[in-house]
Structure 1
Amino acid sequence: MLRGDLGTSWVSDAPVLPSVLSATGVSLTLMACALAVALTVAAALCAPALLRGARGTCGPARSGGGAVAAALTALPEFLLAIVLMVVLSVWWGWLPPYGWAGPENLVLPALALGLPAGGLLGRLVDDALPAVLNELWVALWSASGCSPARIAGAALRRAIPALVPQFGLVAVGLTGGAVAVETIFTVPGIGRTALGAARSQDLPLLQGAVLALVLLGVLAGLLAQAAHRRLLGPGLADAALSLAPPPTAPAGPLRRAVPAVCAAVLLAVTVWGLTRDPLTVDAVERLAAPSWPHPLGTDAVGRDVLARLGHGAAATVGIAALVCLVSLVIALVLGFRPALASGAAEMTNALPPVIAGILVVAVTGPGVFGACAAIVLVSWPPLASHAAALVQETRAAAYLTAQRAIGAPPRWILLRHVLPAVTGPVTRHAVLRLPGIALALASLGFLGLGAQPPSPEWGLSLSESLPYVERAPLASLAPAGMLLLLAAFAVSLSTLPTAARPRNGRRFRPAAATRRGARR
């Protein structure tokens, strides 16, 4: 490697380095376009709450783009890619369906990658803005005659530092996680190159592709850390983003009804589907339209779609929830070691779930356990990076300096201040990623690395039905709709105000001798 020699491909007998450099350049171009789409979508999602809070005309500031952001975040990239290809290329003929010949070939892959990433970034910013816009300085600036635009800019500068590491992780995720999109649109990027090398057991090319992904992750992490320190500055080091929970207005009936409706639909479909047989194959009824015997139609081999949705709920939601919980615990533990967490996060986040699954299954063998281990390996870095940024800001708060000055022990500060300020935002972030984890597990099963056919897992059923999306769209859209409902339920439930707000804890009272000394 130091001599610029990454070996020779076992399949083509060509040098590996030129192939890796060419594929990396293609992926970087696609990543830049997708990142532009993501930032545009994120700005559109958080703009209403930012403008309302800056004007101070709608009472306590609160987020407002959670449902749209959840829907975008839960959209599977490869399903979105197929829909865009069918609608914009096959039906309307506006754009080429595949290839890498000119700028027009960038549009569909960039949209397929950028829309879900923009939903995630927009949701994170939208979740952080209310705490900033309800701080006292916003009211002071507004009363002093500052323009809403200036207040909005200052609020963004106040909220962005804790989220900058997420922007870096999303940027490298657009490069490494685009395996499915690059495969669908036949884009010769580094993700497609790595997957092809793994399938053909071309070890030298696979090593070079994975090395390029890791180097991209480290570079993105270093840039994000530098931007985080630059934005934090001495002024923002005096206060944490979560000094206190933002005052929120009571949730209205419509806002409270969203999680109830989503839960009711999920439960109804699951219970109804559990009463039916998900494995019976009827070749005569294959790709059948909805009817009374098959309310949601049948798939490519004649199995009932409704039955597979019901029986796939446990395999999809249960395993994904367990993986999400393990990732959250790892993130909270490593979040209090920012240096260790950030270094490991950039390296592991550079691996797409597919490549991580291949590497893990090479040791453990194919199966659900290997797929879960692979997803845990790549799902904790964004959570740990988020936790580390919040821990750093919270520990720098001025009120914690005062607590230490009057003799508060470190355990008291940790349990009463730092942990409550970090756990809430990171938990909501983990819940937001639950549908993506479920889909990643299913994609590994589709490749033979996780759940095996004829498992009724939602993502696996979705992947199996994609080739027939034009003839039987409901067979693909039904499991995708269940994933969207799961995302809407999780995010809407996490954003509801609770009756008992988390508090910073009782004030630490110094010892009597200290109080007497203070009085003297």
Structure 2
Amino acid sequence: MSTARRFLPLVTGALAVLVLTVVVAALPWLWDEDPAASVLRVRYPERGIDPDALDALRAELDLPADPVTGALGWLGGALTGDLGTSWVSRAPVGPSVAGALGVSLTLALSAVVVAAVAALALLAPGVWRAARRGASDTGRGGAVVASVLGAVPEIVLGAVLVAVVAVGWGLLPSTGFAGPAHLVLPALALGLPAGGLLARMLSSAAESALAEGWVRTWRSWGTPPGTVALGVARRAVATASPQIALLVVGLLGSAVAVEQLFGIPGVGSAALDAVLAQDLPVAQAAVMLLVVLGLVLGAVGVLAHRALLGPARSGSELPAGVPLPSGHARSWAPWAAASALALVVLTGLPRDGATTERRLAPPSWSAPMGTDAVGRDLWARIAHGALLTVGTAVAVTAVCLVIGLLVGVGGRSARAGAADVVNALPPVVVGLVIAAVAGPGLLGAAIAVIAVGWVPLAVHARTLATEARASGYVRAAVLAGATPWRIARRHVLPAVVGPVTRHGLARVPHAALGIAALSFLGLGAAPDSPEWGAVLADSLAYVERAPWTILAPTVGLALLAVVVALVRESRASS
């Protein structure tokens, strides 16, 4: 490998940090707002805005004249270890952001433990049964439960935990970050949905491993089922290890809403608050630390993938991708789940979602799902918002799938790079940038989700493509004189498309949740929109008084997850 290619990921990472720093520094200009006026309002909310005060503040803060100058100046100081001084608090940025990053890392690692336990509980029985019976699939029950769990909005789960465990039972604190007890509820809120997604990743990899020839060889030798199960688990973790690393980084970036709900001073909340207050040194430091951490963990994932594969990776001994065996059992299940979702939507469409009745009315014959804070029928609102939520999520996932396949199969290197940089960005910060350019709205939220949603699919495709290129049949094609384009089209792409497409299907509810989270923070659909995220955002303030208000959008997301899971399983077995 040439020296230039060896250092290409470092160059890519450095360019990404530079571009992102400039983008963050450009937010005031994108918003067409004077940063001095924003900082003055935050520091002295009771004081009016006058030109003399603005001039004095500009001199005090030495505000840059343009974003490029500001970004380069801040980066110059960052290279020497000086992350600048907060424009709002006038405190050094480094210690405060480092402390916030430590809080977020503690929360993320706690959530990873919860996710690992949940994924193990969901996946281990299926792998054991498959290894003992000689089957090539891990069963559908765990897959459906995992997909439903992965579709539960973190903010809804957190609000329910606060209402029931903290307020209702008084067992744990509801806010703050003062000890291990404060970690339990936010770690559960973040970790359980992540565990569902992790179980789906590992399930796909495990089923591919179960269909490989070495498993049949081990069984023919009379290898104990426990040994076979451990071998399958190692092979699955090897394939999924780069995605697991992305999941850890993603928990850091996507925890903003949970941190806000539980009052946790993490780096995601720090970045969001700094961007809203236009405290650019803090925002730049938070984003840069997340990006650097994303690059480091991305590299760790790649190294773990190589270590787990061992000598097979360089010895042309990796097995070729084996299609899962055909089977049509339970082919009715996706249609039944889709029919249930369609029934909820079609029976709700004729209902009037604009007529107001009694506010926060409980479920009754006239309003089977209750009414919202304005008195509107929640069943009607969920039905009318289904096209917005489901249609947007499917379109977003399709775009992410195409981008992920192109980037993953087209890339020649398995090293961490631009994808790992983008994955480290909090979607909320991306949403703020999009909102600054195009204004808040559903389209902007969809673009923000696409901007980060293609990354896990690209890393998955990159990992599978690397394994395919290391297999014997691809190396034989190279020796036969096949061109890189022919190898990618005839050999690599067919081995990648199936698993990555199934992964993309599993992420349809995740895309819906991303849009919902942005709507919750005011960056997506309008507050009066029937989009499920906007309905959730309106309902969370009343979850203790009227818990049924979050039931309707949550049931819709759960049904969507069941449909996607069963369609995915049906596709895997066809």
User: How high is the TM-score relative to the length of structure 2?
Assistant: 0.82
Give the aligned partner of residue 329 of structure 1: 402
The one-letter amino acid of 2:235's match is R
Give the aligned partner of residue 344 of structure 2: 269
1:457 to 513, 522, 531: 531
Give the aligned partner of residue 35 of structure 2: none
1:246 to 295, 319, 324: 324
| 1:293-320 deviation digits (Å, cap 9, x = unpaired) | 2221100111110110111011111112
Residues 305-324 of structure 1 aligned to structure 2 (within 5 Å): 305-324=378-397
Instruction: Choose 42-51 or 455-464, whichever is displaced more.
Output: 42-51
Give the aligned partner of residue 126 of structure 1: 203
C-alpha distance in 2 between matches for 1:110 and 1:31:
7
Q: Does residue 448 of the first structure (1) align with residue 525 of the second (2)?
A: no
1:298 to 343, 367, 371: 371
The one-letter amino acid of 1:75's match is V
Q: Does residue 99 of the first structure (1) align with residue 172 of the second (2)?
A: no
Q: CA deviation at 1:451?
A: 1.2
Instruction: Choose 384-393 or 142-151, whichever is displaced more.
Output: 142-151
Seen in structure 2, the aligned counterparts of structure 1 residues 370 and 35 have a Cα distance that, compared at 3 Å, is: same
C-alpha distance in 1 between matches for 2:555 and 2:412:
37
C-alpha distance in 2 between matches for 1:242 and 1:181:
42
The one-letter amino acid of 1:308's match is R
Q: CA deviation at 1:407?
A: 5.7
1:211 to 266, 269, 288: 288
Query: Identity of paired residues, percent?
Result: 50
Give the aligned partner of residue 82 of structure 1: 159
Give the aligned partner of residue 360 of structure 2: 287
The one-letter amino acid of 1:277's match is D
Contact 1:344 1:381 (C-alpha < 8 Å) held by counterparts: no
Q: CA deviation at 1:190?
A: 0.6
Contact 2:157 2:189 (C-alpha < 8 Å) held by counterparts: yes
Q: Does residue 419 of the first structure (1) align with residue 485 of the second (2)?
A: no
Seen in structure 2, the aligned counterparts of structure 1 residues 301 and 242 have a Cα distance that, compared at 3 Å, is: farther
The one-letter amino acid of 1:288's match is A
1:202 to 276, 279, 283: 279
Contact 1:131 1:241 (C-alpha < 8 Å) held by counterparts: no
| 1:64-123 deviation digits (Å, cap 9, x = unpaired) | 421011011101111111111122112222211111111111111111111111111111
- Corresponding residue SS for 2:293: helix
Contact 1:63 1:127 (C-alpha < 8 Å) held by counterparts: no
Give the aligned partner of residue 44 of structure 1: 121
Query: Number of matched residues?
Result: 494
- Corresponding residue SS for 1:292: coil
Contact 2:360 2:373 (C-alpha < 8 Å) held by counterparts: yes
| 1:133-187 deviation digits (Å, cap 9, x = unpaired) | 2333223323334322222222222222221110110011111111111111111
Give the aligned partner of residue 402 of structure 1: 476
The one-letter amino acid of 1:462's match is L
The one-letter amino acid of 1:108's match is L
Q: CA deviation at 1:344?
A: 1.2
Runs of 4+ with >6 A deviation: none
The one-letter amino acid of 1:306's match is W
Q: Does residue 22 of the first structure (1) align with residue 99 of the second (2)?
A: yes
1:367 to 435, 441, 444: 441
The one-letter amino acid of 1:315's match is L
Q: CA deviation at 1:240?
A: 5.0
2:554 to 471, 480, 484: 480
Contact 1:290 1:296 (C-alpha < 8 Å) held by counterparts: yes
C-alpha distance in 2 between matches for 1:208 and 1:337:
30
Give the aligned partner of residue 490 of structure 1: 564
C-alpha distance in 2 between matches for 1:498 and 1:35:
27
Give the aligned partner of residue 432 of structure 1: 506
C-alpha distance in 2 between matches for 1:348 and 1:59:
38
The one-letter amino acid of 1:279's match is A
- Corresponding residue SS for 2:541: helix
C-alpha distance in 2 between matches for 1:144 and 1:271:
55
C-alpha distance in 2 between matches for 1:338 and 1:84:
45
Contact 2:87 2:280 (C-alpha < 8 Å) held by counterparts: yes
Give the aligned partner of residue 8 of structure 2: none
Give the aligned partner of residue 135 of structure 1: 212
Instruction: Choose 429-438 or 239-248, whichever is displaced more.
Output: 239-248
Instruction: Choose 300-309 or 439-448, whichever is displaced more.
Output: 439-448
Q: CA deviation at 1:408?
A: 5.3
Gaps of 5+ in 1: 502-520
Give the aligned partner of residue 515 of structure 1: none
Contact 1:334 1:341 (C-alpha < 8 Å) held by counterparts: no
Q: Does residue 4 of the first structure (1) align with residue 81 of the second (2)?
A: yes
Q: CA deviation at 1:262?
A: 1.8
Residues 350-365 of structure 1 aligned to structure 2 (within 5 Å): 350-365=424-439
C-alpha distance in 2 between matches for 1:123 and 1:169:
15
2:423 to 334, 349, 361: 349
Q: Does residue 189 of the first structure (1) align with residue 266 of the second (2)?
A: yes
Contact 1:341 1:384 (C-alpha < 8 Å) held by counterparts: no
| 1:357-376 deviation digits (Å, cap 9, x = unpaired) | 01222222222332222111
Give the aligned partner of residue 17 of structure 2: none
User: How high is the TM-score relative to the length of structure 1?
Assistant: 0.90
Q: CA deviation at 1:201?
A: 2.4
Seen in structure 2, the aligned counterparts of structure 1 residues 417 and 215 have a Cα distance that, compared at 3 Å, is: same
Seen in structure 2, the aligned counterparts of structure 1 residues 293 and 213 have a Cα distance that, compared at 3 Å, is: same
Q: CA deviation at 1:324?
A: 1.0
Contact 1:63 1:129 (C-alpha < 8 Å) held by counterparts: no
